[in-house]
C-alpha cells in the first residue's frame, strides 16, 4: 500500500512539474519539457499522453522556419479545460475578469460601487449576479469554472476563504466560499490585493534570470495603504506574505484611522489622511469612507504651487511611509521597494518625507537606502498575481485528481 501511494505521489508531482513548465514557458516540445523539468524522456511521454487523454493539454505542429524538415510538435494547455474568474474589489469599483485555462482573458467588466451604501448583504447579492452575468456572456456553465480568485485591500483569514476586515466593508466579514456554495463547484480563494502585486513582481524577478533574486517589497498607495513581500525560502521557492503594514503604529495617540485605532500609518498616508492634514482637520475626526481622486489632485496641485499646508500634508504622509518601511527593513533585511497604486501620481511630493523616514533607521544608515522604483500599472500586476496563484493551484488540483493511466508507469 505504501508503494502504491508513493508511486501515485511521484506521478502527481511529475505531472505538476510538466504543467508548471508549460505555465511558465508557454508551448514546449517533448525535448523542451524534459530539459525544463529534469524528467526522463519516457516519463514525459507517459505524462503528456495521459494529460492529453484527460483533455488538459493538446499538441500542435509548428513548421520549421526554413520550411523544410518535419514540423515540431508542441504541447500547450487546452484552453477550455477549465476557466477562472478573477474579482478585484476596490474602493470605487469591482472588476470581474473571465480567463481560460491557458491564461487568456476572455471577458471583463466593472461595476461601480456606491460608497454611500453600506453593508455586505447588498454587495453579496450584486456579486452573485455579476458572476452569473459574466459566464452567461460567454455561454459557459458554472461547472466549467474551476476557480474564483478574489482580491481586496484588508485582512484575509489563513484559509483564504474569508475577508476579515477591509477598508470597503470595515469589520463586516464575508465568507466567499460559503457564499458560492453549493451552486458553484469552483475553488474559492481570497487574497490581499497587495500580496498579488508582490506575487507578480516576485515571479517576474525570479524568472528574469541570473539567480540573484532574494526578496522585494511592494508598497501600494491610495485610499488605503498595503504592503506585500516576496522572498525566496530556504528551498528556493517563492514565498509571498502581506503584513498589516497600513495599520502598523506610526505615532502614539496620532490620527484616527478607519480601523478605529489611533496613529496607524494609513491614518497619515492614506488619501483621507492627506485630506485631513491639508485642511487642518482635528486628528480625531472620523475619516471619510471614500475620497475622490479629484480632491487629492486639487491638494497636489496646490502643493506644487507652493501652498505650505498642502505640501506639508504630503510630506507627513511620506514620513509615515518611510518610518514604516524602515521598520520592515529592520525585520526582513534590505530589499528593493516597488511603489504602486493611485498614489504614485504624487510620488515627487511624497519622496522627501519617505527619504527622511528611511534615514531615521539605523539599518538604512548602515546599509544604505534601498532601491525604490515606481510602477504605475498596479491593476495589471494584481491581475497577473491572480493568474499566477489561481492557475497554478488549478494545475496542482488537476495533477492530483485526474484519472490514473490505463497502463505503464510514469515514474
Alpha-carbon 189 to chain mean position = 12
Q: What is the Cα–Cα distance from 369 to 381, expressed in whole angstroms?
A: 25
Confidence of residue 1 (pLDDT cuts 50, 70, 90): very low
Dihedrals φ, ψ of 188, to 5°?
Answer: -105, 130
pTM for this entry:
0.90
What is the model's pLDDT at position 63? 67
Are residues 386 and 86 in contact, defined by beta-carbon separation less than 8 angstroms? yes
Residues 255, 140 within the same domain: no
What is the model's pLDDT at position 366? 86
Residues 372, 230 within the same domain: yes
Residues 220, 235 within the same domain: yes
Is 405 among the domain residues?
no
Question: What are the C-alpha distances in Å from 391 to residues 84, 185, 196, 268, 344?
Answer: 8, 16, 13, 37, 29
User: Where among 77, 105, 131 does a domain terminate?
Assistant: 77
What is the model's pLDDT at position 3? 47
Average pLDDT score over the chain: 90
Tell me the pLDDT tens digit for each residue of 259-312. 999 999 999 999 999 999 999 999 999 998 889 999 999 999 999 999 999 999
Average pLDDT over residues 342-367: 93
Dihedrals φ, ψ of 329, to 5°?
Answer: -65, -35
Is 147 among the domain residues?
yes
Q: Which residue has the higher pLDDT, 74 or 71?
A: 74
Are residues 263 and 255 in contact, defined by beta-carbon separation less than 8 angstroms? yes
Residues 235, 220 within the same domain: yes
Average pLDDT over residues 117-121: 73
Are residues 251 and 263 in contact, defined by beta-carbon separation less than 8 angstroms? yes
Question: Between β-strands 28-29 and 57-62, what pairing exists: parallel, antiparallel or unpaired?
Answer: unpaired
User: Where among 58, 77, 96 does a domain terminate?
Assistant: 77
Residues 267, 362 within the same domain: yes
What is the model's pLDDT at position 202? 95
Residues 152, 271 within the same domain: no
Is 387 among the domain residues?
no
Is 181 among the domain residues?
yes
Check whether 248 has a pLDDT greater than 70: yes
Residues 112, 238 within the same domain: no
What is the model's pLDDT at position 211? 61
Check whether 115 has a pLDDT greater than 70: no
Residues 240, 369 within the same domain: yes
Q: What is the Cα–Cα distance from 56 to 82, expressed in whole angstroms?
A: 9
Select the highest-mean-pLDDT range: 238-247, 328-337, 396-405.
Answer: 238-247
- CATH number of domain containing 60: 1.10.10.10
Is 164 among the domain residues?
yes
What is the model's pLDDT at position 275? 96
Is 292 among the domain residues?
yes
- Nearest Cα residue to 115 out of 97, 148, 134, 89: 89
Question: What are the C-alpha distances in Å from 370 to residues 65, 70, 136, 227, 331?
Answer: 46, 52, 48, 16, 14
> By residue range, what is the domain housing residue 43?
2-77
Question: What are the C-alpha distances in Å from 389 to residues 40, 84, 136, 239?
Answer: 27, 11, 25, 11
Tell me the pLDDT tens digit for each residue of 189-206. 999 999 999 999 999 998
User: Where among 17, 52, 77 does a domain terminate?
Assistant: 77
Q: What is the Cα–Cα distance from 224 to 343, expressed in whole angstroms?
A: 10
Confidence of residue 209 (pLDDT cuts 50, 70, 90): low
What is the model's pLDDT at position 334? 87
Average pLDDT over residues 90-94: 89
Residues 159, 221 within the same domain: no
Is 30 among the domain residues?
yes
Residues 233, 304 within the same domain: yes
Confidence of residue 411 (pLDDT cuts 50, 70, 90): very low
Question: Between β-strands 145-152 and 155-156, what pairing exists: parallel, antiparallel or unpaired?
Answer: unpaired
Average pLDDT over residues 243-258: 93
Residues 251, 334 within the same domain: yes
- CATH number of domain containing 277: 3.30.420.40
Average pLDDT over residues 144-168: 93
What total number of domains does the chain contain? 3
What is the model's pLDDT at position 408? 38
SS (H, E, C) the chain: CHHHHHHHHHHHHHHHHHHHHHHHHCCEEHHHHHHHHCCCHHHHHHHHHHHHHCCCEEEEEECCCCCCCCCEEEEEECHHHCEEEEEEECCCEEEEEEEECCCCEEEEEEEECCCCCCCHHHHHHHHHHHHHHHHHHCCCCHHHEEEEEEEECCEECCCCCEEEEECCCECCCEEHHHHHCCCCCCEEEEEEHHHHHHHHHHHHHHCCCCCCCCEEEEEECCCCCEEEEEEECCCCCEEEECCCHHHCECCCCCCECCCCCECEHHHHHCHHHHHHHHCCCCCCCCCCCCCCHHHHHHHHHHHHCCCHHHHHHHHHHHHHHHHHHHHHHHHHCCCCEEEECHHHHHHHHHHHHHHHHHHCCHHHHHHCCCCEEECCCHHHHHHHHHHHHHHHHHHHHHHHHCCCCCCCCCC
Average pLDDT over residues 365-384: 94
Residues 51, 98 within the same domain: no
Is 260 among the domain residues?
yes
Check whether 407 has a pLDDT greater than 90: no
Three cell numbers, residue 388 = 499566477
Amino acid at each position: 500500500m505504501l508503494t502504491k501511494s508513493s508511486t501515485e505521489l511521484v506521478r502527481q508531482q511529475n505531472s505538476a512539474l510538466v504543467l508548471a513548465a508549460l505555465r511558465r514557458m508557454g508551448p514546449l516540445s517533448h525535448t523542451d519539457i524534459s530539459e525544463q523539468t529534469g524528467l526522463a524522456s519516457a516519463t514525459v511521454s507517459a505524462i503528456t499522453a495521459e494529460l492529453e487523454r484527460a483533455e488538459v493539454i493538446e499538441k500542435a505542429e509548428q513548421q520549421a522556419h526554413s520550411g523544410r524538415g518535419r514540423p515540431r510538435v508542441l504541447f500547450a494547455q487546452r484552453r477550455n479545460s477549465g476557466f477562472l474568474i478573477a474579482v478585484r474589489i476596490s474602493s470605487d469599483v469591482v472588476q470581474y475578469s473571465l480567463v481560460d485555462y491557458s491564461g487568456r482573458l476572455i471577458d471583463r467588466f466593472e461595476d461601480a460601487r456606491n460608497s454611500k451604501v453600506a453593508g455586505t448583504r447588498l454587495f453579496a447579492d450584486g456579486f452573485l449576479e455579476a458572476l452569473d452575468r459574466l459566464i452567461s456572456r460567454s455561454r459557459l456553465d458554472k461547472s466549467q469554472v474551476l476557480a474564483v480568485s478574489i482580491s481586496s485591500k484588508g485582512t484575509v483569514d489563513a484559509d483564504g476563504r474569508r475577508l476579515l476586515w477591509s477598508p470597503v466593508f470595515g469589520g463586516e466579514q464575508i465568507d466567499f466560499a460559503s457564499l458560492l456554495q453549493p451552486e458553484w463547484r469552483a475553488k474559492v480563494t481570497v487574497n490581499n490585493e497587495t500580496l498579488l502585486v508582490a506575487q507578480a513582481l516576485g515571479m517576474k524577478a525570479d524568472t528574469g534570470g541570473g539567480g540573484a533574486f532574494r526578496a522585494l517589497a511592494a508598497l501600494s498607495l491610495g485610499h488605503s495603504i498595503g504592503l506585500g513581500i516576496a522572498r525566496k525560502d530556504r528551498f528556493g521557492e517563492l514565498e509571498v506574505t502581506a503584513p498589516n503594514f497600513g495599520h502598523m503604529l506610526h505615532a502614539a495617540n496620532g490620527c484616527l484611522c478607519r480601523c478605529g485605532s489611533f496613529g496607524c500609518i494609513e491614518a497619515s498616508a492614506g488619501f483621507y489622511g492627506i485630506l485631513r492634514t491639508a485642511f487642518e482637520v482635528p486628528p480625531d475626526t472620523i475619516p471619510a469612507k471614500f475620497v475622490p481622486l479629484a480632491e487629492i489632485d486639487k491638494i497636489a496641485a496646490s502643493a506644487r504651487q507652493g501652498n505650505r499646508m498642502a505640501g506639508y500634508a504630503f510630506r507627513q504622509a511620506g514620513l509615515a511611509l518611510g518610518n514604516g518601511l524602515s521598520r520592515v527593513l529592520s525585520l526582513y533585511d534590505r530589499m528593493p521597494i516597488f511603489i504602486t497604486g493611485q498614489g504614485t501620481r504624487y510620488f515627487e511630493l511624497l519622496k522627501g518625507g519617505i527619504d527622511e523616514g528611511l534615514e531615521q533607521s539605523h539599518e538604512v544608515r548602515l546599509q544604505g537606502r534601498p532601491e525604490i522604483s515606481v510602477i504605475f500599472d498596479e491593476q495589471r500586476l494584481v491581475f497577473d498575481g491572480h493568474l499566477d496563484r489561481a492557475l497554478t493551484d488549478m494545475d496542482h488540483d488537476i495533477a492530483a485528481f485526474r484519472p490514473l493511466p490505463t497502463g505503464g508507469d510514469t515514474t
